[in-house]
A and B are shown apart, each in its own frame.
Chain A
Amino acid sequence: MIYLDNAATSWPKPDTVHEAMLGYMRDVGANPGRSGHRLANEAERIRLDAREAIAELFGVKDPMRVVFAYNATTALNLAICGLLPPGAHAVTTGMEHNAVMRPLRALEQQGVLLSVVPCEPDGTLDPQALDEHIRPVTRLIVANHASNVCGTVLPIHELGALARQHGIPFLVDTAQTGGCWPIDLRADNIDLLAFSGHKGLLGPTGTGGLAIHDDFDIDRLPALVCGGTGSRSEHEQQPDFLPDKYEGGTPNIVGLAGLAASVRYVLDRGVDRICEHERSLTRRLIDDLSSIAGLRLIGTRDARRQTAAVSFTIDGQSVSEIARELDERFGIMCRPGLHCAPRAHRTLGTLPEGTVRLSPGAFSTAQEIDQTVEAVARLAGAE
């Protein structure tokens, strides 16, 4: 069995993740923040472990500026919906996932103005092209760090500098890069960084969140979900301080136990080393797939400019059929179709059929890549 669907969710997870989740379920079990008893405090310590690890990973000084959500999508919705009142203008790119496009499109119905900056056919973006779309009423620039379709990395450092120059909040979707590509929230001028816990961070599903720049004024961003926090219980209004402001309701603490362990694993192994490992697999995949007749690689075809998400099509073959054959005949799991990113596929010229996406991860091996290329070559030759 070869798992190449890490861009959807990473698998396997480090053993320490299973142990931490089991340990919480068996030995702790309590609700953090709600009581002062020892198990509630232990649960809160686990949540702080997760906050500190994420803060260290992304370069956030104050761990309380890491707030948890159930995935990157919820975190993106919190930021996008909170910063864009009717009449405000947002700028995004032609390579976004629906986690960004759908909330923006929904807000458009309520009078928010939207500019989608076109990207090149390989998914790359010239930051100056974005500059031309900024208006006096622009209240948000939102971009993914890397495409979930073909891995193309956007120049977020340059985009952050541009946003800073105009004094516009900059929101980055790091679902595809967190844990496997270097990110420094402060150096990259990212005001709000949405992360997924279960992809490159190697944690369980149901985890994600928003890392907030130390200088970002949270009075600008209302809560999306209000509810019990265990703090200020005498008030019927949501607390105005972090992290409670954005963490109404009982958290996914068993998930955060896993996330604390997984991010610690990532930090110990090193983002640079994981990045290099995935890059070598990506390079191998690109090099070997490109020699197959009738196979078209999508994106930059350059492992230095993309994450480990390699998309392709084969002339005359259906992508879903290729994926089914890879699974049934060769035990290789991947994802065909549009990957919840119709806008990116439009940019890449792969609508309406989509692509086959192979996405190796931190635990994938060169041998698995070789077996996969061999299987794809056989399918391509079968026509």
Chain B
Amino acid sequence: MAQFVVILVHSTSHAIQAERLLKRAGLAVKLIPTPRHLSSDCGSAVRIVAGDRARGERVLNEAGVPIDRIEPLDE
């Protein structure tokens, strides 16, 4: 199983918002450039630990942050 998941959102505004919300919820978060194999977008995505996926998703849904996709990510 992958160690991390990457959360793809609409834009960098949402990535920074997601980073802030997840940090406030106590999750380990890292902003990464959106992996090119996952999206042609030029902005940032949010990486969290795979085990935090459900919690992270819940935090973002509650705040109304639209999630494009969540994908496993090995590093």
Interface of A with B (CB < 8 Å)? 32-37, 40-41, 44-45, 47-48, 51, 61-64, 229-234, 239, 241, 243-244
Q: A239 near B40 (CB under 8 angstroms)?
A: no
Given contacts A44-B16, A62-B64, A241-B66, contact A230 B10 (CB under 8 A): no
- B residues 9-23 near A (Cβ < 8 Å) are 10-17, 20
- Residue in chain B with minimal CB distance to A44: B16
Q: A48 near B11 (CB under 8 angstroms)?
A: no
What residues of chain A lie closer than 8 Å to B11, measured between beta carbons?
Answer: 33, 229-232, 239, 241, 243-244
A63's partner among B17, B32, B33, B41 (CB-CB below 8 A) is B17
B20's partner among A48, A231, A233 (CB-CB below 8 A) is A48
CB distance from A272 to the nearest CB of B (A): 27
How many residue pairs, one in A and one in B, have C-beta atoms under 8 Å apart?
Answer: 80
Interchain CA distance A35-B45 in the complex, whole Å: 11
Chain A contact residues: over half helix, strand or loop, or mixed?
A: loop
5 smallest beta-carbon distances between A and B, as pairs: A36-B33, A231-B11, A36-B44, A33-B12, A44-B16
What residues of chain A lie closer than 8 Å to B45, measured between beta carbons?
Answer: 36
Interface of B with A (CB < 8 Å)? 10-17, 20, 31-34, 40-45, 63-66
Given contacts A35-B42, A241-B66, contact A47 B33 (CB under 8 A): no
- Residue in chain B with minimal CB distance to A33: B12
CB distance from B29 to the nearest CB of A (A): 12
Q: A36 near B17 (CB under 8 angstroms)?
A: no
Q: A41 near B31 (CB under 8 angstroms)?
A: yes
Given contacts A230-B43, A234-B40, A241-B66, contact A36 B31 (CB under 8 A): yes
- Residue in chain A with minimal CB distance to B12: A33
CB distance from B34 to the nearest CB of A (A): 7
What residues of chain A lie closer than 8 Å to B16, measured between beta carbons?
Answer: 41, 44-45, 47-48
What residues of chain B lie closer than 8 Å to A243, measured between beta carbons?
Answer: 11, 13
Interchain CA distance A40-B34 in the complex, whole Å: 14
Q: A44 near B13 (CB under 8 angstroms)?
A: yes
Interchain CA distance A82-B66 in the complex, whole Å: 25
